[in-house]
A = this chain, B = another copy of it.
Amino acid sequence: MSKNLTTRAEDYSKWYNELVVKADLAENSGVRGCMVIKPYGYAIWEKMQAELDRMFKETGHQNAYFPLFIPKSYFSKEASHVDGFAKECAVVTHYRLKTSEDGKSIEVDPDAKLEEELIVRPTSETIIWDTYRKWIESYRDLPILVNQWANVVRWEMRTRLFLRTAEFLWQEGHTAHATKDEAIAEAEQMMNVYADFAENFMAIPVVKGFKTANERFAGAEETYCIEALMQDGKALQAGTSHFLGQNFAKAFDVKFANKEGKQEYVWATSWGVSTRLMGALVMTHSDDNGLVLPPNLAPIQVVIVPIHRTEEQLEAISNQVGELVKQLRKLGISVKYDDRVTQRPGFKFAEYELKGVPVRLAIGPKDFENGTYEVARRDTLSKEIVSKEGIVEYIQNLLEEIQTNLFQKALDYRNTHITEVNSFDEFKEVLDSKGGFVSAHWDGTTETEEKIKELTKATIRCIPLDRIEEAGSCVFTGAPSKGRVYFAKAY
């Protein structure tokens, strides 16, 4: 297995693109901007899905499924929503192909034109609120707490595997509430669920905050977000949760009778995370040798490689390892015993390193005699000789340690990359030299925000939830500000 991976220092972007393909996570398809998620990458996504789904259900949500297509007219009903999505959407105009007259090719049948064009969903607020109108009559029908796992399409011009693709997989929660407070509480709760998931499951530290008006979701009154920091100092929005006010209820005429029998518009939230998280995962933990996976997300947590010269040696080793594999599986640890004779141990080591398997055990004739294993950690690349007595407990603890270590390492990096600045020169200097989140006072206007973006490519990632109220003056205009916000260049 020849890796030939570009290093992060050489070209971070190239390193990422190569790694995603070489580690068998995903690849480009014959369809512009659409990716193929390969089995190894999909197995990681399945682990994310399972955990998120568990968390959603634990907080009272149920799954459902709504149509892929959205009639064009639905889009026009919420003004800012159409502005946000109409410019990059896939439009279905016909429902049949036919053979050309010369019989040599197939073409769109002009007689099969749809009366109204259908948009492939870029997000499902409109079709879902059109449905909720039928589901909601009184306060007794509320809240509706629904989630959908689905594919969506946004016609992005410049695409990158996982980070920005024309089609991607995601979940979108859509909830309906009787009161404003309840809807806001739901939006905040789901931001917290996402943060919990990112930190405790993916080992990715995040900043919780809300977006400026300029960066809000098209149709939202408040967008909560979690923002992560990649190893190149660029931020990545890892999840958003929107308080939609009564915007969609008004656009689709969804009212309910309150306890007093009065008709009111319903309050809404929506929230989502996507296969983009796969990109965040790769860019947070991996290194120049390949993927580094937190044990929680690793399809294979432990790989065991035998080293042998004779068949007798392999048989003896395999017998012993068979027992260990059983014990580990009983504990819910996923183990692979790689006894392929077609590949050498060195090849296997390189392969599992590239694929980010957290723990690798090797056992040769010497180890067998001594009753030991060689245990290698993917995160630190360190090795240790461990006695076979107690190896199960050792591995169990090691997996936990690796999970914790990866989070701590990413947290340390993130924390040293939040820099307070008090002048625009300093702002630009920090952004260029070390990147990360630049914590600065801002005058609260979209104008300044856009001017700064134009000059530096940095956007306001969020207004941190836990920010300290402090009087200051805008780093760009000098106008008064009530507290700092986080700027960064972002994916």
Interface presence of A477 (CB below 8 A): no
Interface presence of A29 (CB below 8 A): yes
Instruction: Give the copy number.
Output: 2
**1/0 contact string of A445-468 vs chain B (CB within 8 Å):** 000000000000000000000000
- Given A62-B43, A64-B42, CB of A96 within 8 Å of CB of B89: yes
Question: Which of A114-122, A284-292, A356-364, A423-431 lies on the face that meets chain B?
Answer: A114-122
Count of chain A residues near B, Cβ 8 A: 64
Complex interface: chain B residues within 8 A of A127 (CB)? 29-31
**1/0 contact string of A59-102 vs chain B (CB within 8 Å):** 00011111111111011100000100011111111111111000
Question: A323-373: which have CB < 8 Å to B?
Answer: 342
Whether the pair A46, B65 counts as a contact (CB closer than 8 A) is no
Whether the pair A95, B89 counts as a contact (CB closer than 8 A) is yes
Complex interface: chain B residues within 8 A of A30 (CB)? 71, 74, 127, 130-131
Contact of A95 among B75, B88, B105 (CB under 8 A): B88
Complex interface: chain B residues within 8 A of A90 (CB)? 69, 92, 94-95, 118
Whether the pair A91, B108 counts as a contact (CB closer than 8 A) is yes
Whether the pair A97, B89 counts as a contact (CB closer than 8 A) is yes
Complex Cα–Cα for A94 and B113 (A):
13
Which of A72, A92, A94: most chain B CB closer than 10 A? A92
Which of A38, A71, A146: most chain B CB closer than 10 A? A38
- Nearest B residue to A134 by beta-carbon distance? B27
Interface presence of A218 (CB below 8 A): no
- Nearest B residue to A82 by beta-carbon distance? B106
Whether the pair B342, A140 counts as a contact (CB closer than 8 A) is yes
- Nearest B residue to A86 by beta-carbon distance? B97
26 contacts between A and B (CB under 8 A): A29-B66, A29-B130, A29-B131, A30-B71, A30-B130, A31-B69, A31-B70, A31-B118, A34-B67, A36-B131, A39-B62, A39-B146, A42-B62, A42-B64, A68-B151, A72-B108, A76-B106, A82-B97, A86-B96, A86-B98, A87-B97, A88-B96, A90-B95, A92-B93, A93-B94, A93-B108
Whether the pair A93, B95 counts as a contact (CB closer than 8 A) is no
Interface presence of A188 (CB below 8 A): no
Complex interface: chain B residues within 8 A of A88 (CB)? 95-96
Interface presence of A37 (CB below 8 A): yes
Interface presence of A281 (CB below 8 A): no
Contact of A63 among B46, B68, B72 (CB under 8 A): B46
Complex interface: chain B residues within 8 A of A150 (CB)? 151
- Nearest B residue to A148 by beta-carbon distance? B42
Complex interface: chain B residues within 8 A of A76 (CB)? 105-106
- Given A67-B167, A106-B82, CB of A92 within 8 Å of CB of B95: no
Complex interface: chain B residues within 8 A of A37 (CB)? 64-65
Complex Cα–Cα for A39 and B175 (A):
13
Interface presence of A271 (CB below 8 A): no
Interface presence of A169 (CB below 8 A): yes
Complex Cα–Cα for A92 and B88 (A):
13
Complex Cα–Cα for A169 and B167 (A):
17
